[in-house]
């Protein structure tokens, strides 16, 4: 009897295994069918086999979710009203299932990416109120900030909070709004720096005269597209907070909260940064913040702000000492580049153009893709046209140098491509025309500028 039971169990197990193998084989066949349809964007034909695999073998392949997202979005776009409504709800369920069944890609979490897509779908299809949408974005950011990288979704994460604030939601205070802005803008800066690191490797190879591989050429194009997206959405982010982040709002807020946060270096650094960027640094509170920050945590940031205070006080030599200390204290090359560019801008405002260019070039040494440094130099060249060159022709020839610098900005930083092109076009329009060159008869000659620019330019050939 025992033997009969054992044999029965073995046969049952073999039968179940055989049935399971058959089910998997069927799923694999349906997977192949819907994937082929999806690849050619025939989402209507892909729907039924996809739905079957999703129901019967939900963990067989991540394509169920990556292609499923496209299939359902197409159904929302092209289906009947009833199909559209069902597909919207189903898309939210799909994201939840995706997180459960495939939370990782190449051993790295993608929960932040998937959950932020869910939040965006809730927003796009009006399936939840702003509070729930924001809560979903916040869940993505809190659980897995590393994979929450989509610029549009990061922007909407903040904007949903901003919209709640503007609608009078009492849970969203001005302080919460500013804190979230700082967090999200820092995330944008981080992602921008990560892209810049990859792009700089390619730019250095190009500058060395080495031909790029097809993969590097493709990657450069992708990096530029992503960099441009980050630049666009970060500008949008700055634009909406600018309405609230005025000195009239910032100073009372930071004064009110200083005592509670005077030992929090991050809070003080963010407050000082916001006051500096909004030109509120003439207020005594800025001095209080800077001194507190330097006492708590002497750093590149605190040294920079001390330099700024001395600059405002007319102590140029002392200011330069702190600026140099700021650079020395900073260990990250990309943050160092940003500090150098800030210093370059301060020197430009002070009329110290040679020093400004020197610091801008130092910044480019640490980050070759820092297009704003090239724009800064271009603007200073253009501003100096009347002070450089002996003849009117020579003075206008300065604009060729300015245009070249502006073009360079767009070449290394895709987010500046439009503004760099407009700037270069403007400067080229002010440079000598072909008629001027013909009249002077100096095509191909070299013009040397003995002013602070101390550069030369070759007159274009006709």
Query: What are the structural domains, with CATH classification, of the chain?
Result: 1-101 (no CATH), 253-296 (no CATH), 298-362 (1.25.40.10), 369-462 (no CATH)
Q: Quick one: tokens of 215?
A: 């993969």
Exposed, middle or buried, 4 (CB in 10 Å: 0-12/13-18/19+)? exposed
- The predicted pLDDT at position 346 comes to 87
Q: Are 402 and 353 in contact (CB under 8 A)?
A: no
pTM across the whole model = 0.83
Q: Which residues of 131-143 are buried (b: 16+ CB within 10 A; e: fewer)?
A: eebbebbbbbbee
**What per-residue confidence (pLDDT) applies to 182?**
92
For the beta carbon of residue 47, count every other beta carbon within 10 angstroms: 21
Which pLDDT value is given to residue 2? 52
pLDDT at 35: 95
Element (H, E) at 105: strand 104-105
Q: In this predicted structure, what is the pLDDT of residue 20?
A: 42
Distance, in Å, from the CA atom of 341 to the CA atom of 327, rounded to the nearest integer, reads 11
Which residues are CB-neighbours of 321 under 8 A, at least 6 positions away? 307
pLDDT at 311: 86
CB-based burial of residue 29 (10 Å sphere; 0-12 exposed, 13-18 middle, 19+ buried)? exposed
CA distances from 46 to 24, 51, 94 (A): 18, 9, 16
Please report the pLDDT score of residue 23 as a whole number.
76
Asked if 146 and 110 touch (Cβ cutoff 8 Å), the reply is: no
User: So what's the pLDDT on residue 403?
Assistant: 97
Low-confidence ranges of the chain (pLDDT < 70): 1-22
Identify which of 332, 183, 329, 327 has the alpha carbon closest to the alpha carbon of residue 266.
183
Half-sphere exposure in the Cβ direction for 108 (13 Å, CA): 7
């Amino acid at each position: 009897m025992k033997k009969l039971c054992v044999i029965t169990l073995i046969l049952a197990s073999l039968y179940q295994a055989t049935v399971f193998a058959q089910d998997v084989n069927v799923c694999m066949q349906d997977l192949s069918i819907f994937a082929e349809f999806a690849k050619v964007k025939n989402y209507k034909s892909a729907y039924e086999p996809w739905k079957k695999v999703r129901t019967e073998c939900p963990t067989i392949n991540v394509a169920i979710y990556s292609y499923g997202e496209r299939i359902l979005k197409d159904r929302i776009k092209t289906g009947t009203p009833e199909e559209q409504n069902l597909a919207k709800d189903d898309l939210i369920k799909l994201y939840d299932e995706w997180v459960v069944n495939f939370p990782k890609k190449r051993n790295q979490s993608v929960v932040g990416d998937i959950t932020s897509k869910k939040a965006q779908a809730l927003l796009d299809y009006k399936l939840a109120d702003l509070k729930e949408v924001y809560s979903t974005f916040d869940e993505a950011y809190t659980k897995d900030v590393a994979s929450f990288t989509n610029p549009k979704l990061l922007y909407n994460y903040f904007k949903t909070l901003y919209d709640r604030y503007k609608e009078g939601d009492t849970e969203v205070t001005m302080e919460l709004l500013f804190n979230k802005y700082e967090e999200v803008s820092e995330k944008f800066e981080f992602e921008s720096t990560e892209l810049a690191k990859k792009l700089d490797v390619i730019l250095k190879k190009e500058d060395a005269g080495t031909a790029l591989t097809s993969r590097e050429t493709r990657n450069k194009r992708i990096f530029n597209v992503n960099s441009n997206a980050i630049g666009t959405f970060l500008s949008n982010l700055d634009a909406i907070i600018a309405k609230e982040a005025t000195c009239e709002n910032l100073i009372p807020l930071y004064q009110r909260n200083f005592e509670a946060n005077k030992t929090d270096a991050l809070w003080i650094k963010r407050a000082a940064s916001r006051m500096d960027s909004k030109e509120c640094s003439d207020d005594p509170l800025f001095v209080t913040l800077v001194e507190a920050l330097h006492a708590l945590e002497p750093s590149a940031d605190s040294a920079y702000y001390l330099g700024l205070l001395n600059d405002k006080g007319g102590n140029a030599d002392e200011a330069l000492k702190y600026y140099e200390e700021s650079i020395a204290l900073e260990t990250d090359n990309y943050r160092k580049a940003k500090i150098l560019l800030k210093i370059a801008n301060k020197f430009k405002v002070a009329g110290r153009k040679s020093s400004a260019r020197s610091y801008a070039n130092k910044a480019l040494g640490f980050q070759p893709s820092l297009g704003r440094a090239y724009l800064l130099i271009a603007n200073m060249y253009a501003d100096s046209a009347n002070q450089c060159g002996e003849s009117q022709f020579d003075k206008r020839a300065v604009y060729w140098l300015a245009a070249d610098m502006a073009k360079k900005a767009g070449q290394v930083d895709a987010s500046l491509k439009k503004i760099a092109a407009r700037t270069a076009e403007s400067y080229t329009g002010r440079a000598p025309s072909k008629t001027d060159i013909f009249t002077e008869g100096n095509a191909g000659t070299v013009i040397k500028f003995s002013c602070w620019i101390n550069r030369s330019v070759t007159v274009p050939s006709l």
